[in-house]
Amino acid sequence: MRKILLIFALVLFQIPYVLADEGMWIPMLIGKNYEQMKALGFKLTPEDIYNVNGSSLKDAIVRFGGGCTAEVISPDGLLITNHHCGFSSIQAHSSVDHDYLTDGFWAMTRDQELPNEGLTVRFLQRMEDVSDVVLKGIAVDTPEGDRQKLIAQRADSIEVANTNKGNGIVADVRSFYYGNQYFLMVYEEFSDVRLVGAPPESIGKFGGDTDNWVWPRHTGDFSIFRIYASKDNKPASYSPDNVPYKSKRFLKISLKGVHENDFTMVYGFPGRTQQFLVSDAVKLLINQSNPNKINLRGTRLDIFNKYMNSNDTIRIQYASKYASVANYWKKWIGETIGLRRLNAIEKKQEQESMFEAWVNTNKDLKEKYGNLLPSFRRLYAEVAPLSLVADFRNEDVYAVELLRFSSNFSKYINDVISGKGDSATIETERKDLVRYTSSFFKNFNINIDYEVFGAMMYNYHQKIPLDYQPEFLKNIQEQYGDKWMQMASDIYNQTAFADSLRVLTLLASSDTANVKVFLNDPVFQIYSQFENLYRQKVKPRYYEIEDSLDIFYRRYVDGLMKMQPDKEFFPDANSTLRVTYGTVKGFEPRDGVVYDYYTTLDGVIEKSMNKNVADYVAPKRLIDLYKSKDYGIYGVNGTVPVAFIATNHTTGGNSGSPVLDGEGNLIGVNFDRCWESTMSDVMFDPDYCRNIALDIRYALFIIDKYAGAQNLISEMEIIE
Ligand code: ARG
Ligand code: GLU
């Protein structure tokens, strides 16, 4: 059997190949994919994608805020990204008087554009393979500690040499393929980014959590911003004197639309994938980690739901929390089902047998790679109980808002009580906490949190081995028996942290007496018990194992690449700029079900007929436009295209990324994946994996016909 596998592997791996559809490729090295891209319909050259001498498509793309992508669509620095990426900015500018979430926002003149403190965008100026410098002289037998120290020092000095803070130049050295390669990224970062336009939520978030991760989709998920720069076109912090930024490149917009099998590419900043996980890791993920996290979030969402459905104030207060808890809850469910359907564990095991067979062909290989798979097995077995506690720390303990709230007081309490904090630091901490307290209580409901607390403590007690339970949980049974909610209610009645007035009064000064009240508060005590337990019994070994796993993955990936020298491997996503390409395509998610590759405005109206789903309310003005069929140049076949799907390999962080046609024109804005695709972070399947893009014609239709913002349309370059 081994022999057959080996022969199979050798035959298979002698043929040079690039995987179809799968892959998030490094722009600088896209040349190696060129032939395949051309065959799929790409009409440009690798230099059109990435070129440091002159302008290329990369000069129109930015990392937007902490975790999204956006692209420049006019000579005056106009940006388009997703509504969900601009959400916090739209929310921050909203109040009862001007509720931009509900009504939308459109700046009809430049002086109406709204600045956003803390929002930055960065362009990749250039990237460079610095592996030779970073890894110089490091050998297989270099002790791991020395290796890490050397790498950190070298990466640091490369970053220092390439950074120029005053000019907004930021340098970042990143590890690829688990430290087998290093790249320097040099970015130009702009910090005056203004909100220009956003449709109402009933368009920009149409379908809400009901439709999140789901196809067919009808969300107009876009918002518009603008980059401002100093008069000499350089990054500058906000000033009314700043002017619209002239980027080296902006994207032309094509109204030609998409047809099945058309080439598309997505150019953006995918966050994280884990394609190299071994079978033991996939087992842990789908048998332990995901099910636990899904259950815990499910419990929390049920409680949110109950209160949100009964009270409008709570519904608004918890809307954003609900969305963020529900997002990954739903993703993990899809991912788990997808990995099971793919038999991911067995597929990984097959790959591992092949690896083993290859390793056993030769003494040197055996010496170098022979211990890897057994080591993975041993470490994953050891890490499982620790990772269980870590998952519960994130999704159970920290699911309780008051525990999380009180955790932020920890440093302040410690600095005051230990007498070690200097008075200036303490004063800053105190003021920060005052600010934090006010914002925390804006969207906090004690009844919800008390229920979450009761449920989460019960869950922890039931699911976590006694060894990893804090004293307080051990004692509860004695005191309360099974009356978990009684316990919760006693604690929530006693704690000062549930009452903003009491917290603010205690924060009025950093007197030791005041701070001692925080210290001895039952909520802070409970948080501290969980935290101490984690720090003493879990974290040290957990981190050690994670570090060892990284080392073993580094060797494993190196081995896999040597085993298949002709295969093009792409590095896992790591929040750096990547190109992914594929074709527009529907799929069959289940037996008897066929998904078309696009949706239209008709579907928006169809969904809005269903009065039972609050997420499906379309604004009246949109319905009127539909009735009068006033679609201008954006309509086709008597409707307006809304979204389409394609085989591009994307992940979180690709939100807002440009979807480009074979000529490099903008045809869509990426905003999601289909639910059946979500396992692609671990294992891609061309039959099921589809990214979801907003059709650019829907965005323009909304901007032009719905909002009447012709001022924005007129600065774009539109190809009809
Ligand atoms: N699933 C998309 C992403 O991962 C959209 C999330 C925002 N929308 C929502 N309904 N929660 O970011
Ligand atoms: N909505 C995701 C984001 O914010 C993209 C969806 C995905 O994970 O593919 O990046």
Q: pLDDT tens digit string along 392-409? A: 999 999 999 999 999 999
What sign results for the dihedral spanned by CA atoms 132, 136, 139, 143?
negative
Ligand 2 contact, 219 CB (< 6 A): no
- Give the mutation target among 88, 650, 659 for probing the ligand 2 site: most ligand atoms within 8 A of CB: 650
Please report which confidence band the pLDDT of residue 7 belongs to, taking 50, 70 and 90 as the band edges. very low
Coil, helix or strand at residue 636: strand
Beta-bridge mates of residue 400: none
Domain C-terminal end among 529, 558, 587 = 558
DSSP-assigned letters across all residues of 251-309: --EE-S---TT-EEEEEE------TT--HHHHHHIIIIIHHHHHHHHHHHHHHHHHHHH
Residue 148 is which amino acid? Q
Q: What's the farthest any 2 CA atoms get from each other in the chain?
A: 76
The answer to the question of residue 261 being in a domain is: yes
Residue closest to 112 by CA, chosen among 709, 716, 656: 709
Model confidence at 275: pLDDT above 80: yes
- Strands 593-595 and 587-590: what pairing? antiparallel
Cα 331 vs. chain centroid, distance in angstroms?
11
pLDDT at 140: 83
**Cis omega (within 30 of 0) for bond into 143:** no
Q: Quote the CA–CA distance of 687 and 600 in Å, as a whole number.
A: 23
Q: What is the DSSP string of 163-229?
A: -BGGGTEEEEEEEETTTTEEEEEEEEEE-EEEEEEE--HHHHTTTHHHHTT-SS------EEEEEEE
CA-nearest residue for atom 2, ligand 2, is 652
Which residue bears the tokens 């049920």? 302
Q: Are residues 637 and 678 in the same domain?
A: yes
Q: Please check whether residue 205 lies inside any domain of the structure.
A: yes
Arithmetic mean of pLDDT, 225-247: 98
Q: What is the pLDDT of residues 560-586, one digit of tens each?
A: 999 999 999 999 999 999 999 999 999
Going from the Cα of 637 to the center of ligand 1, the distance in angstroms, rounded, reads 30
**Average pLDDT score over the chain:** 95
Is the distance from the beta carbon of residue 459 to the nearest atom of ligand 1 less than 6 Å?
no
How many other CB atoms sit within 10 Å of the CB of residue 94? Answer: 16
Residue 609 burial (10 A CB sphere; 0-12, 13-18, 19+): exposed
pLDDT of residue 91: 87
For ligand 2, pick from 671, 677, 682 the residue to mutate: most ligand atoms within 8 Å of CB.
Answer: 671
Alpha-helical regions (H) of 311-371: 312-317, 319-341, 344-359, 363-369
Residues 6 or more apart in contact with residue 315 via CB below 8 angstroms: 308, 309
* 69-80: average pLDDT: 98
Q: Are residues 263 and 392 in the same domain?
A: no
Mutate to test the pocket of ligand 1, among 85, 672, 675, 678 (most ligand atoms within 8 A of CB): 672
Where does 587-715 show beta strands of DSSP type E? 587-590, 593-595, 598-600, 641-646, 658-660, 666-673, 691-695
> What's the whole-model pTM score?
0.94
pLDDT (average), residues 589-610: 97
Instruction: Verify whether ligand 2 is closer than 6 Å to residue 648 (CB atom).
Output: no
Instruction: Give pLDDT, residue 635.
Output: 97
pLDDT (0 to 100) of residue 589: 95
18 lines ligand 1 (CB under 6 A): no
Task: Tell me, using a 6 A CB cutoff, whether residue 221 lines ligand 2.
Answer: no
Per-residue buried b or exposed e for 189-212, using 16+ beta carbons within 10 Å of the residue's own CB: bbbbbbbbbbbbbbbbbbbbbebb
Work out the percent of the chain whose per-residue pLDDT is above 90.
92
Catalogue the E-assigned strands of 86-190: 105-106, 114-115, 121-129, 169-176, 181-190
- What is the phi/psi pair of residue 511, to 5°? -55, 140
Mutational pocket test of ligand 2: of 68, 81, 651, 692, the residue with most ligand atoms within 8 Å of the beta carbon: 651
Query: 145 lies in a domain?
Result: no
Number of neighbours of residue 381 by Cβ within 10 angstroms: 11
Half-sphere exposure of 720 (CA within 13 A, CB side): 5
Taking CA atoms only, the protein residue closest to ligand 1 atom 3 is 672
As a residue count, the chain comes to 720
Residue 291 sits in the same domain as residue 329: yes
CATH of the domain at 713: 2.40.10.120
Token code pair at residue 4? 């057959």
pLDDT recorded at residue 193:
98
The Cα–Cα gap between 616 and 607 comes to: 6
139, part of any domain: no
- Based on the fold, state whether residues 585 and 499 are members of the same structural domain: no
Q: CA 469 to CA 174: how far, in whole Å?
A: 38
Residue 495 in contact with ligand 2 by CB distance below 6 A: no
Higher-scoring residue by pLDDT: 76, 5: 76
105 Cβ contact partners less than 8 Å away, ≥ 6 residues apart: 90, 93, 98, 114, 195, 197, 198
Q: Is 273 in the pocket of ligand 2 (CB under 6 A)?
A: no
What does the pLDDT look like over 448-472, one tens digit per residue?
Answer: 999 999 999 999 999 999 999 999 9
Is it the case that residue 681 has pLDDT exceeding 60?
yes
Q: How far apart are the first and last CA of the chain?
A: 59
Kindly report, residue by residue over 638-656, the tens digit of the pLDDT.
999 999 999 999 999 999 9
pLDDT computed for residue 187 by the predictor: 98
Are 468 and 336 part of one and the same domain? yes
User: Residue 580 in 3-state DSSP?
Assistant: strand
pLDDT band at residue 17, thresholds of 50, 70 and 90? low
**End-of-domain residue from the set 505, 527, 558:** 558
Give yes or no: residues 554 and 612 share one domain: no
- Predicted local confidence at residue 476, as pLDDT: 87
Q: Which of 558, 589, 624 lies at the terminal end of a domain, its last residue?
A: 558
Closest residue by CA, ligand 2 atom 1: 672
Overall domain count for the chain: 2
Res 331 pLDDT > 90: yes
> Domain check: are 386 and 500 in the same one?
yes
Residue nearest to atom 7 of ligand 1 (CA): 84
pLDDT of 326 higher than 60: yes
Tokens (6 digits) for 96: 């009862």
Whether ligand 1 lies within 6 angstroms of the CB of 209 is answered as yes
Phi, psi of 514, rounded to the nearest 5 degrees? -60, -45
Work out the average pLDDT over 480-501: 96
Distance, CA of 192 to CA of 105 (rounded, Å): 19
240 and 284 in one domain? no
Q: How far, in Å, from the CA of 430 to the mean position of ligand 1?
A: 35
Distance of CA 498 to the CA centre of its chain: 31
443 and 473 housed in the same domain: yes
CA gap 293, 305 in Å, rounded: 18
Is position 181 within any domain?
Answer: no
CA nearest neighbour of 496 among 488, 487, 505 = 505
Best residue among 274, 332, 654 to mutate for probing ligand 2, ranked by most atoms within 8 Å of CB: 654
Q: What is the pLDDT of residue 18?
A: 62
Q: Per the structure block, which two tokens stand in for 114?
A: 């709204």
Q: Which amino acid is at 646?
A: A
Residue 660 is predicted with a pLDDT of 98
Please tell me if the CB atom of residue 86 comes closer than 6 angstroms to any atom of ligand 1.
no
d(CA 576, CA 56): 17
- Of ligand 2's atoms, which has the minimum distance to the CA of residue 650? 9
Residue 144 CA: distances (Å) to CA of 139, 147, 151, 170, 539: 10, 5, 11, 29, 20
The range of the structural domain enclosing residue 244 comes to: 11-120+191-272+574-719
Measured from the CA of 209, which atom of ligand 1 is nearest? Answer: 10
Based on the domain organization, do 472 and 400 belong to the same domain? yes
Asked if residue 6 belongs to a domain, the reply is no
Same domain, 628 and 666: yes
Atom of ligand 2 nearest to the CA of 655: 10
Distance 82 CA to ligand 1 centre (A): 10
650 C-alpha to ligand 2 centroid (Å): 8
- Do the beta carbons of residue 339 and residue 275 sit within 8 Å? no
Distance 122 CA to ligand 2 centre (A): 19
Q: How far is the CA of 653 from the centre of ligand 2 (A)?
A: 6
- Residue 632 has which token pair? 């201008």
- DSSP for 542-610 reads HHHHHHHHHHHHHHHHHHHHHHSTTB---PPP-SS-EEEEEEB--EEEETTEEE-SEEEHHHHHHHHT-
The alpha carbon of 217 and the centre of ligand 1 are apart by a number of angstroms equal to 12
Residues involved in catalysis = 84, 221, 655
Assess whether the C-beta atom of 335 lies below 6 angstroms from ligand 2: no
In the reported structure, the alpha carbon of residue 97 is separated from the centroid of ligand 2 by a whole-number distance in angstroms of: 32
pLDDT at 301 over 80: yes
327 C-beta closer than 6 A to ligand 1: yes
In this structure, the answer to whether residues 105 and 243 fall within a common structural domain is yes
**Is residue 449 within 8 Å of residue 499, measured between CB atoms?**
no
CA–CA distance, 112 with 662 (Å, rounded to integer):
36
Q: Among the atoms of ligand 1, which is closest to the Cα of residue 213? A: 1
pLDDT score, position 13 = 46
470-475 mean pLDDT: 92
Q: Residue 508 contacts by C-beta under 8 Å, 6 or more apart in sequence?
A: 514
Residue 163 in any domain: the answer is no
3-state secondary structure of 4: helix
Better pLDDT: 3 or 662 = 662
Angular region, 535: left φ>0, alpha ψ -120 to 50, beta rest = alpha
Task: Tell me if 179 is assigned to some domain.
Answer: no
**By percentage, how much of the chain surpasses pLDDT 70?**
97
Kindly state the average pLDDT of the residues 522-542. 98
